[in-house]
Amino acid sequence: MKFQATKKIPGGKLVSVKMETTSNGAATHISNVSIYGDFFLHPEDAITHVEQALQGLSTESSIQIFTQEIEKALAEKSASFIGVTPENLAEIIVNALHSNL
């Protein structure tokens, strides 16, 4: 299935997430993620690492789990968001998944 959500973050930044999921019977997991918007990430190429870190996570994961995985991916690349937080992004992911279920 395909999911998408866009949210304007306090401060004016617009962030969008597109995802695809796959199901293997009882469980459904994120199989592909694209994150884009008018925020900044330094270094920029770390976005691919964040997107890959989210792949394989259960669609039933909590905002806290998504936040932890995003923070871990950022730390691995010594990267940081400007204009959006890992928790903002996790909230958008959960909203997308729940609005389409």
CA dist., res. 88 & res. 35, Å (int): 12
Place of tokens 């204009």: 83
At 101, is the pLDDT very low, low, confident or very high (cuts 50, 70, 90)?
Answer: very low
Structure tokens at 36: 């884009």
pLDDT for residue 24? 86
pLDDT for residue 34? 97
